[in-house]
Structure 1
Amino acid sequence: MDFALLLVLAVAVTGLVWLLDILWLRRVRQARVAVADTDAQAGGSEGALKQRASVKEPWYVDYSRSFFPVLLIVLVLRSFVVEPFQIPSGSMRPTLKIGDFILVNKFTYGLRLPVINTKVVALNEPERGDVMVFRFPQDPAVNFIKRVIGLPGDRIRYQGKQLYVNGEPVPKELLEENPEAAPTEFLLRELLDQRTHEIYNNPRDPGPQMREIEVPAGHYFVMGDNRDHSNDSRYWGFVPEENIVGKAFAVWMHWDGGLPSFMSVRGIE
């Protein structure tokens, strides 16, 4: 289900009905009321009063007038300011957990029209280390979230669980072996362009080996922080610029099926 498309359609339909009422339907009702009042003055008061009472605003006009402003505000906020998402998988652990509800800044990388995702106002470009939401290139109806590793023109290589950007190994340090949250993994801190974040690596799994590739213009190379359990650019290629949705910047709630928790509210590094 494309919620953005449904929201746009709802705004269009309710707005059109409301406008139609202002331009035509309301005048028709007022004319019928005037006729009823004239009949009442001529002596047919009982029938005229019944006729006047029957001239009321249709339910669809009432609903449209009530819902249109609310739907329009939601559409503007969701399309151009901030949009909520829920994390459905563990590919971004330990940064993001399954059940985290995140907020995505929709204007950091420029303003885009809803549904068609066409950029109308250019602002900033993604930077290495950003956690970015985008439309999956293989199925644009599905949203993915990964970390930006390679910018247009960068040379990326991944070999022996070591990430290389433009020929240089990305520094990392071991924080903990077999952490409680992931007993089969190593928890490491990675330094990408002077920005740190934590990642998982499985020492018993050789994982994918990727020869050096160059990121084409207008595209980005992305990876999950859960390096051995992430379906990312190592497998399906690059993210086109037109697929970008926004930058994830905060976790505002966690819900794993029980009671919602707000103890995990935090910024996303």
Structure 2
Amino acid sequence: MAEERSIGKQIIHEIGEWLYAIVIALVVAILVHIFVGQITRVSGESMENTFHNGDFLVVSKWDHIRGITPNYDDIVIIDSRVNRERTWKDDVTDVVSNYLSIFSKDAERHDAWVKRVIGLPGDKLEFKDGHVWRNGKELEEPYTKDPTMNYSQTAPVIVPEGHVFVMGDNRNHSSDSRFIGPVPIKNVIGNVVWHI
């Protein structure tokens, strides 16, 4: 009888140790995901031919955490909900939805977009004859899939302070700053550092 109790206590102790290890591993994974980086998957064709639907991207969160403005041509992940204040709570809920999306397509977020930085605060952007002009100079954009055929903007766009202007490389099939407006730097979730 005493031996059975001892075995029972040993099993309970073993289960407790496993649960403790699992909880610690989850906490570390969540902290890494929030503060360091994550792996995400491309959904859609807006960044072709640079990235394709289903490609995996390694995203660094370090600049987002420090509030650093990205550079021209950086490929970034943005929160497309530009008309709402993004807080640290969004970083936490991003982790939850990212893990849930592994198990269910219904949990996938549709507001996290991968785009290229075209304009920085204070830049004057113009769109003429299928090309982008920044501060009076036409951009050379060898990464774009096709010239922008279905967009024209008569008035120049001035990128406000604390914002960036982003576009997809597949300009004719991309929802981006042309439609949602400049993106607050707080909504730049991370920089793509590797493509798998």
TM-score bracket for the superposition, by shorter chain length: 0.7 to 0.9
Show the counterpart of 1:18: none
Return the alpha-carbon distance in structure 2 between the equivalents of residues 110 and 146 of structure 1: 15
Decide whether the 8 Å contact of 2:44 with 2:52 is kept in 1: yes
The answer as to 2:159 corresponding to 1:215 is yes
Paired AA for residue 144 in structure 1: W
| Pair 1:249–1:54, CA change in 2 (3 A) | closer
Higher relative contact order (CA 8 A, sep 6+): 2
Unaligned runs of 5+ in 2: 85-89, 91-108
The answer as to 2:66 corresponding to 1:93 is no
The answer as to 2:19 corresponding to 1:69 is no
Show the counterpart of 1:206: 149
Decide whether the 8 Å contact of 1:137 with 1:240 is kept in 2: no
The percent identity for this pair of structures is: 28
Return the alpha-carbon distance in structure 2 between the equivalents of residues 86 and 206 of structure 1: 27
| Pair 1:71–1:170, CA change in 2 (3 A) | same
| Pair 1:102–1:53, CA change in 2 (3 A) | closer
Return the alpha-carbon distance in structure 2 between the equivalents of residues 131 and 79 of structure 1: 19
Deviation string, structure 1 residues 134-187 (Cα, Å, up to 9, x no partner): 11126985210100011111111112101011122213xxxxxxxxxxxxxxxx
Paired AA for residue 146 in structure 1: K
User: Deviation at 1:220?
Assistant: 0.9
- Which residue of the other structure, out of 224, 240, 249, is the alignment partner of 2:193? 249
Decide whether the 8 Å contact of 1:156 with 1:213 is kept in 2: yes
| Pair 1:216–1:61, CA change in 2 (3 A) | same
| Pair 1:51–1:59, CA change in 2 (3 A) | closer
| Pair 1:78–1:235, CA change in 2 (3 A) | same
Aligned residues: 169
Runs of 4+ more than 4 Å apart: 48-56, 138-141
Show the counterpart of 1:106: 61
Return the alpha-carbon distance in structure 2 between the equivalents of residues 159 and 234 of structure 1: 13
Q: Which moved more, 1:242-251 or 1:58-67?
A: 58-67
Unaligned runs of 5+ in 1: 1-45, 112-120, 172-189, 191-196, 253-269
User: Deviation at 1:53?
Assistant: 5.3
Paired AA for residue 161 in structure 1: G
Higher helix share: 2
SS at match of 1:153: coil
| Aligned-CA RMSD value | 2.4
